[in-house]
Amino acid sequence: MANKSHFNSGHMAINQLKKNGALHSSTITGIASPHTVHGVFIQDAVDFLKALPNSSVQLILIDPPYNLDLDNWDSFHNYLDWAKGWLDQICRVLSDSGNCVIFGGFQYQDLKKGDLLEVLHYTRHETALRFVNLVIWYYKNGMSAHRFFANRHEEAVWLSKTKKYYFDLDSVRVPFDEATKEMYKKDKRLNPESIDKGKNPTNVWEIGRLNGNSTERVGHLTQKPVELIRRFVKALSFEGSIVLDFFAGSGTTGRVCIEERRHSLLVDSDNKLYGYLDKHIRQIKSNLFLPEYSLMKDTNIDTVLEEIALVNQQLPQNSIVKDYRNE
């Protein structure tokens, strides 16, 4: 029996209406339901991926282990042999406009470690994935070093399944400050609308790392900052689409998906994910803004996908996907 924790009355009402053969008011009045579904799976990533249907996911966002011996989940005999197991599934499960973001670094000096360079080399030569961008996550707070330049960045590669990948740049533009805005508005060559929209954030993003005492911390050793994940989720997926993180860790991706109204599939081999995710959700609640959502735990992927399809059916057709494609 699936453990489905509903945190809202809206979704229960939808199910009741469905049972009675009635329509939800959003279908009738054309008001989009903000409800999202989040499947949480304690499972091996590759086993999970094998059970996932073709073309079912809009965005894969992962922060994999790299053999750094950080914990017992971070140790492999041959890194790439292991990584091939999940890298080979990505293209198949992505939709045609789908994107994939893989976090990592190039700075690991020990050959036993895996790194993003190896992952990128493999995807380029052995899979049909296309390379779109390398994003540099730059932070000012980091470790000191004496034998080399202290590291202040991590990388994330953005890959796509086809040339028609989804990309909503407007959703992540950075506003100009008022003085710059005024100055640009006096320049007749510039379009005032573009100035109001803000600027392209570029592929170097300055976002602080989480310190040990950061209020955002939920206890996972390698937790990523919410704002870093949010920018990818907003730009590379759309409301009502499915985002998959099969190395979910603390569930940062799930938290952002609740906030940004995407459905999510969260997978981790460690069941501490449940507790971490609860803490993330308590943080959203303390911000006084919690969109309607439901968590589905201890169930199978088909049940979760059926639930997502049911929820999306309640949305007016034209509200589900403003599917911009980069043509």
Footprint on this chain of ligand SAM (rule: CB under 6 A)? 44-45, 63, 65, 73, 220, 222-224, 247, 249-250, 252, 267-270
Give the shortest CB-198-to-ligand SAM separation in angstroms: 27
What is the distance between the alpha carbons of residues 156 and 123, in angstroms, rounded to a whole number?
Answer: 14
Q: Choose between 29 and 215: whose C-beta lies nearer to ligand SAM.
A: 215
Task: Give me the least distance between CB of 178 and ligand SAM, in Å please.
Answer: 34
Task: Tell me how far, at minimum, the Cβ of 224 lies from ligand SAM, in Å.
Answer: 4
C-alpha 131/C-alpha 117 separation (Å) is 13
Query: Which lies closer to ligand SAM via its Cβ, residue 245 or residue 292?
Result: 245
Taken in order 198, 201, 206, 211, the sign of the CA dihedral is positive
CA 158 to chain centre: 12
First to last CA, the chain: 44
Give the integer Cα–Cα distance in Å for 252 and 79. Answer: 24
Dist. CA 73–CA 272, nearest whole Å: 12
Assign 3-class secondary structure to the chain. CCEEEECCHHHHHHHHHHHCCCCCHHHHHCCCCCCEEEEEEECCHHHHHHCCCCCCEEEEEECCCCCCCCCCCCCCCCHHHHHHHHHHHHHHHEEEEEEEEEEECCCCCCCCCCCHHHHHHHHHHHCCCEEEEEEEEECCCCCCCCCCCCCCEEEEEEEECCCCCCCCHHHHCECCCHHHHHHHHHCCCCCHHHHHHCECCCCEEECCCCCCCCCCCCCCCCCCCHHHHHHHHHHHCCCCCEEEECCCCCCHHHHHHHHHCCEEEEEECCCHHHHHHHHHHHHHHHCCCCCCEEEEECCCHHHHHHHHHHHHHCCCHHHHCCCCCCC
Q: How far is the CB of 316 from ligand SAM (least distance, A)?
A: 34
The residue nearest ligand SAM at its CB is 249
Which residue lies nearer to ligand SAM by CB, 34 or 74? 74
